[in-house]
Amino acid sequence: MPDPAKKVLIIDDEDNMRHMLSALLTGQDYSVDTASDGMVGLKLLKNQEFDFVLCDIKMPNMDGISFLRAAVSAGHSATIIMMSAFGTVDTAIEAMKHGAYDYISKPFKADEVVLVLKKAEERERLRRENVLLKKKIAGLESSLGLGTMIGKSKPMQDVFLLVDKVARHITTVLITGESGTGKELVAHGIHDKSPRAAKPFVAVNCGSVPENLLESEFFGYVTGAFTGADREKKGLFEEANGGTLFLDEIGELPLVMQVKLLRVLQEHEIRQIGSNKSTKIDVRIVAATAKKLADEVQEGRFREDLFYRLNVINVHVPSLRERAGDIPLLCDYFIEKFTARIDAGSVRSVSRAAMKLLMRHPWPGNVRELENVIERAVILTEKNVILPENLPDKLGGREHNRRLDDIMGTFSIKEGRRMLEHRLISRALESTDGNKSRAAELLEISYPSLLSKIKEYGI
């Protein structure tokens, strides 16, 4: 079934202009209505749904800027494109500030109007796809209970499905994967999806606790157990009783503590330091490591019996290299996160050139490294899109700073100027998602000049 015709409202006080645009756009399979001024246009918008509005600025009764303000204030969803024969760059800027998508100077060629509408259509299509994608991601997170851990790649879908299966059981789980892949997020997901979700989730990094304090941290102590023990202290196992204890970097646990942990897993009881009685506990153990524990067992640094106790279910979290298709999704998530946190609300996306650099980077630090790169870029960018120069040098973001003769391969001022203009125009269009009015503003040239140069350089 073909898509319904897009509806366009033309607002102009000149009969000839309304007639010309109506004939042109009807021939392009648009459904067209017309209005002679802003007041009539607002009434039509109130009673009908339009996809696009082409509105003149200078009109009687209600001018175009007043109409634009009223339409945006009323929350109409139509994409509004302003037109004027008396326009300047300042007029265009004012229209953009009040919510116009683009600005066309009269007189204009027929194909210019059609091109602007097609660009607006493409923007709306991408916006709708983005909304649907976010809804799908939200649905995936909700159904699998992995919170902020997102991914549409097959390796991540496999992880989500496995977590969904194992979460409901008390089975011990060993999460493996490189540093920065999100192992603790997986552990949280297992807990949140389990019947223990209302009980404590206690996390400890086994490599961060001094060896001489490990036993007291894990099992606690009674008053007077040693010098300085002036009150009883609960250990991590008791704090997590009824819930989940997450042992991160389990491969760093000394052999002496490995023996004690094995006993807890076998007997389901602990004994505080200085106490002569054991206490039964009900704790699910989820462990994680970036090390290859099988190799550690072979080298005698990790107990084989403990390894098999922990590795009942293995959840392997893939590296970012194995799930590169998730990088655009993760970038969108981190941009939204950091623009809200650091009040940089104008940053909306990553340019194509910058995304190419992100996609080809090996990401030794995985998702954590990507998160840091995007946070840095959001802080540094002065545009509404992240450009290559906002990325760290190691990603190739500053290749444009090489010597000019290396980049251009010429000493000709004339040819160099053409190449430089081509590059600047391309970057301006890229940073504005193809919006020529905004690009002209960035380049500090007139709109007609930009159109002429785009045609000249074949951009």
pLDDT in tens, 248-301: 999 999 999 999 999 999 999 999 999 888 999 999 999 999 999 999 999 999
Q: What is the pLDDT of residue 400?
A: 45
Mean of pLDDT values over 331-346: 80
Q: H or E element: which one contains 73?
A: helix 64-73
Mean of pLDDT values over 48-57: 91
Main-chain dihedrals φ then ψ at residue 95, nearest 5 degrees: -60, -45
Mean of pLDDT values over 35-52: 90
Q: What is the pLDDT of residue 413?
A: 72
The 10s digit of each residue's pLDDT in 83-106 is 888 767 777 788 888 888 888 888
**To 5 degrees, how large is the angle CA 50–CA 56–CA 58?**
145
**To 5 degrees, how large is the angle CA 113–CA 118–CA 120?**
95
Q: Name the pLDDT band for 1 (thresholds 50, 70, 90).
A: very low
Q: Name the pLDDT band for 399 (thresholds 50, 70, 90).
A: very low
Inform me whether the pLDDT recorded for 113 exceeds 50. yes
The 10s digit of each residue's pLDDT in 299-333 is 999 999 999 999 999 999 999 999 999 999 999 98
Q: What is the pLDDT of residue 77?
A: 80
Q: Name the pLDDT band for 408 (thresholds 50, 70, 90).
A: low
Q: Name the pLDDT band for 343 (thresholds 50, 70, 90).
A: low
- Nearest residue to 29 (alpha-carbon basis) of 51, 14, 47: 51
Rounded distance between C-alpha atoms, residue 223 and residue 237, angstroms: 18
Burial (Cβ within 10 Å: 0-12, 13-18, ≥19) of residue 240: buried
- Name the least confident of 53-57, 85-89, 102-106, 225-229: 85-89
Q: What is the pLDDT of residue 18?
A: 92
Q: What is the pLDDT of residue 192?
A: 92
What tokens does 16 get? 């000839």
Q: H or E element: which one contains 349?
A: strand 349-350
What tokens does 96 get? 């953009």
- Nearest residue to 322 (alpha-carbon basis) of 453, 202, 155: 155
Mean of pLDDT values over 77-82: 88
Q: What is the pLDDT of residue 123?
A: 80
Compute, in degrees rounded to 10, the torsion defined by CA atoms 70, 73, 74, 79.
Answer: 80
Rounded distance between C-alpha atoms, residue 97 and residue 447, angstroms: 17
Share of residues in the chain with pLDDT > 90 (%): 47
Q: H or E element: which one contains 116?
A: helix 110-144
Stated pTM of the model: 0.59
Q: Name the pLDDT band for 348 (thresholds 50, 70, 90).
A: confident
The 10s digit of each residue's pLDDT in 155-196 is 999 999 999 999 999 999 999 999 999 999 999 999 999 999
Q: What is the pLDDT of residue 33?
A: 93
Residue 430's SS3 state is helix
Query: Which of the given ranges, 52-61, 208-217, 309-318, 415-424, has the highest pLDDT on average?
Result: 309-318
Rounded distance between C-alpha atoms, residue 218 and residue 240, angstroms: 10
The 10s digit of each residue's pLDDT in 154-164 is 999 999 999 99
Q: What is the pLDDT of residue 312?
A: 94
Rounded distance between C-alpha atoms, residue 453 and residue 441, angstroms: 14
Pairing type for strands 269-270 and 279-280 reads antiparallel
Q: Name the pLDDT band for 404 (thresholds 50, 70, 90).
A: very low
Q: What is the pLDDT of residue 122?
A: 84
Mean of all residue pLDDT scores within the chain = 86
Mean of pLDDT values over 372-384: 88
- Nearest residue to 443 (alpha-carbon basis) of 459, 427, 457: 427
Mean of pLDDT values over 214-242: 89
Q: What is the pLDDT of residue 134?
A: 63
Domains, the chain: 7-124 (3.40.50.2300), 151-318 (3.40.50.300), 324-400 (1.10.8.60), 405-457 (1.10.10)
